[in-house]
Each structure stands twice: as C-alpha cells, then as structure tokens.
Amino acid sequence: MASAAPQVLTSWIYAIWALQGRHSALHAAGPDASNIEWLFWVIFFIILAAFILVILGFARAAARTYTSAREMLPIVHDKEGDRRAVWAVGSAITVTVLALFAVLVLSVITGKKVEGLTSKNPVTIQVTGHQWWWEVIYPNAQADQTVTTANEIHVPVGKPVVILTNSADVIHSFWAPSVHGKRDLLPGYSSAFWIQIDQPGRYRGQCAEFCGMQHAHMGFSVIAESDSEFAAWKAQQLKPAPEPTNADAARGREVFLTHACVMCHTIRGTDAGSRIGPDLTHLASRQMIAAETLPNTRGALAGWIIDPQRIKPGNHMAPNPLQPDDLQALLTYLQTLQ
C-alpha cells in the first residue's frame, strides 16, 4: 500500500491538471459560475486572514520567555490585564459574528444573482437522472421535433438556457462546476434553473449526490458551441437513424434487434423503442460512452457491450456474450449512427 501512495498522488495531480478549466469551480465559464467563484474567493480571503492572525498570535505567545514550571507560578491579580482579556475576547467574538454574518449575506446575494438569468424563448433542456446516466431531451410540442440524447448536453454559447430537472429513480445531483452550482434531481419533482456559458468548449459534470454503486462514474458533458454549430447538431439529431448501406451494417442491425439490446435501447427509425437505457439513434456522434467513462471508440464500445459489469460493476446493462462475427457487425452498425 505504501508504495502505491505516490502513484495515487501523481494520478490525482494529473487528473486535476487534465481537468483544468473543464471541471473546476475556479475556472468559471459563465455568469453563474463566476458569481460562485467570486463568493469562493471572498470567503477564502476572510478565512485566510483569520488563519494568519491565529498563527501570528500563536507565534507571539511561543516566542515569549517562559517561567520554569518547577516552582508554582505566582497568582497575580492584575486589573489592567483582566480588562485587556475581556476586551480581546469580546472583540474576537464580535469580529467572528460580523464575518459570519457578512458571509451569510454575500451567500444570499450570490444565490439571488445566480437565479437572475432570464430570456425570452430560451433553449429548454429536460435532464433526467437515471442510475447511472443522464437522459437529455430537448422538448418540443411537436413530437418529431424533440431531440433525445444522453450524457452530452449541447447548448448555444452566450445564451441563457433553461435546464428542467427530474429523476427516474433516486436522488441525483447535477453538477458541472465550471457552469453552475449543484442542483439536486428529485424523483417525481420537476424543477428548473438557468445556465449560461460564455466560452465555447466542453465542460465536464458529475453526479454530486450518492446514488448507488456507479455514482462515481456518472459523468456528463456540457458542450457550448456557436449558434450555427448548435443548429447543425440539432438538425442532425432530429433525423432518424440512417439505413445501413452495406451488408455488414445490415447484419449489425439484425443483431441489435434480435438480442438483448432491443429490450432497453431506442434507435429511432427501427423497431427498437425501449426507454430504459440511453437513446442510441446518434450514438456515433457522441465523444464518450457509459456516462463519460470510456471514449467512444470501436474497441471501448466492444468491451462495454461484451462485459459492462467488469467496467462498471452493478450498472444496469447486462453482459452480452455475442458471437465474434455478430459483435463486429453490431459495432459496424453502431458506428454508422452519426
């Protein structure tokens, strides 16, 4: 164990470095997150000042000459000293109460500011937490204009966006630190909040409320892109899955529809329409699979399909011991789902 410690430390440092600006409350990408970041620094400096004062006080006391403890210390009744002690303790209490009150007021003000975003006709996104992935729907009154995807949330940059929240099973918490504070997703209780991202990019998020075995691997991405990119993405997502163009892909679709896949997943444009697992209509357009756990490559997808319980033990996807030919055909088909 001892030899593993430096490795763990370096991997942590690497992880923090790799996520710089992508998963950090100190790299705000929008007005909500910058308000929260501002509050963080205010509290940080108040506490830093208190810490330095305490350390200075200890240092001063330690530096003083001391009497040897062999003989009893004389009890001195010093009225002047008593008065100074009362003054010191009293002022310390006052400063503490005032500082805490100031922090409380600032928190309330920041909370109000974070709720301050608004806009007419915003992009609205319904995020539903599942064990252990995120269902993302762009609702529309017209059913064929509704986009359904999973784990990757595309938003137009620089515009307020409404996130509607709900949960399908237990309490989850939606937390993309560069974008907004934590918002709990409660089963059976719809809620809403606004986000805005001013810098284009890909920001990582994470479930922040313990929700079961794979809570730690329940990640998502918020992708902020320009209006035209967002519109193009949405137009692509609205299309049903393309028909297979070669025999291999056609066989892959057959495999999908005749095995366990069809019990849980939707591919619009085919007979697969179950809503238990993520919608796979445009699986190949996503960068990551398994809730930000694996890159969306052919190999990772194969490993995930064959034995998801090894990669994320306890998750709700069953192992699929497919024949090698069937698996290759299925992978070819899934990779056509752009």
Partner 1 sequence: MRILKPISLAVLITCLIALLSCQREERILRPSPPASEILNSVQVSGLNPGANSVASPPPPKYYEESAYSVSEGQRLFNQYNCVGCHANGGGGIGPPLMDNNWIYGSEPGNIFATIVQGRPNGMPSFRNRIPEYQVWEIVSYVRSLSGLLPKDVAPARSDQLYVKPPEQSMPNQTPTGITGQPEAKQ
Give every CB contact of residue 305 below 8 A, 6+ residues apart in sequence: 320, 322, 327, 330, 331
In 3D, which of 175, 155, 178, 152 has the Cα closest to residue 165? 175
In 3D, which of 329, 331, 325, 336 has the Cα closest to residue 243? 336
In 3D, which of 188, 161, 160 has the Cα closest to residue 172? 188
User: Are 281 and 241 a contacting pair, CB within 8 Å?
Assistant: yes
Q: How far is Cα 183 from Cα 176, in angstroms, rounded to an integer?
A: 10
CB of 98 to partner 1, least distance (A): 50
231 counts as binding partner 1 under rule CB under 8 A: no
263 counts as binding partner 1 under rule CB under 8 A: yes
Q: How many CB atoms lie within 10 A of CB 237?
A: 18
β-sheet bridge partners, residue 223? 154, 202
Q: How far is Cα 149 from Cα 13, in angstroms, rounded to an integer?
A: 32
273 counts as binding partner 1 under rule CB under 8 A: no
Among 122-130, 187-195, 280-288, 311-319, the segment contacting partner 1 (CB under 8 A): 311-319
Q: How far is Cα 221 from Cα 23, in angstroms, rounded to an integer?
A: 10
Which CB atom, from 274 or from 338, has the smaller least distance to partner 1?
274
CB of 304 to partner 1, least distance (A): 14
Which CB atom, from 35 or from 214, has the smaller least distance to partner 1?
214
CB of 264 to partner 1, least distance (A): 8
* CA angle 162–173–170, rounded 5-degree value: 115
Which CB atom, from 162 or from 262, has the smaller least distance to partner 1?
262
306 counts as binding partner 1 under rule CB under 8 A: no
Which CB atom, from 169 or from 198, has the smaller least distance to partner 1?
169
Radius of gyration over every alpha carbon of the chain, rounded to an integer in angstroms: 28
216 counts as binding partner 1 under rule CB under 8 A: no
In 3D, which of 280, 321, 252 has the Cα closest to residue 272? 280
276 counts as binding partner 1 under rule CB under 8 A: yes
258 counts as binding partner 1 under rule CB under 8 A: yes
Q: How many CB atoms lie within 10 A of CB 214?
A: 20
* Residue of 25, 162, 260, 306 interacting with partner 1 (CB under 8 A): 260
Among 33-41, 142-150, 278-286, 310-318, the segment contacting partner 1 (CB under 8 A): 310-318
Measured between its terminal Cα atoms, the distance across the chain in Å is 45
Q: How far is Cα 129 from Cα 207, in angstroms, rounded to an integer?
A: 9
CB of 261 to partner 1, least distance (A): 9
310 counts as binding partner 1 under rule CB under 8 A: yes
Among 234-242, 280-288, 292-300, 303-311, the segment contacting partner 1 (CB under 8 A): 303-311
264 counts as binding partner 1 under rule CB under 8 A: yes
313 counts as binding partner 1 under rule CB under 8 A: yes
Among 65-73, 196-204, 259-267, 292-300, the segment contacting partner 1 (CB under 8 A): 259-267
Among 67-75, 230-238, 243-251, 255-263, the segment contacting partner 1 (CB under 8 A): 255-263
User: Are 256 and 275 a contacting pair, CB within 8 Å?
Assistant: no
Which CB atom, from 88 or from 276, has the smaller least distance to partner 1?
276
| Residue carrying structure tokens 């929008």 | 30
β-sheet bridge partners, residue 154? 223
Report which DSSP code applies to 141: S
* Residue of 19, 25, 164, 262 interacting with partner 1 (CB under 8 A): 262
319 counts as binding partner 1 under rule CB under 8 A: yes
318 counts as binding partner 1 under rule CB under 8 A: yes
Which CB atom, from 227 or from 307, has the smaller least distance to partner 1?
307
199 counts as binding partner 1 under rule CB under 8 A: no
Which amino acid, one-letter code, is at 96? T
Binding interface with partner 1 (CB under 8 A): 258-260, 262-264, 276, 307, 309-310, 313-314, 316, 318-321
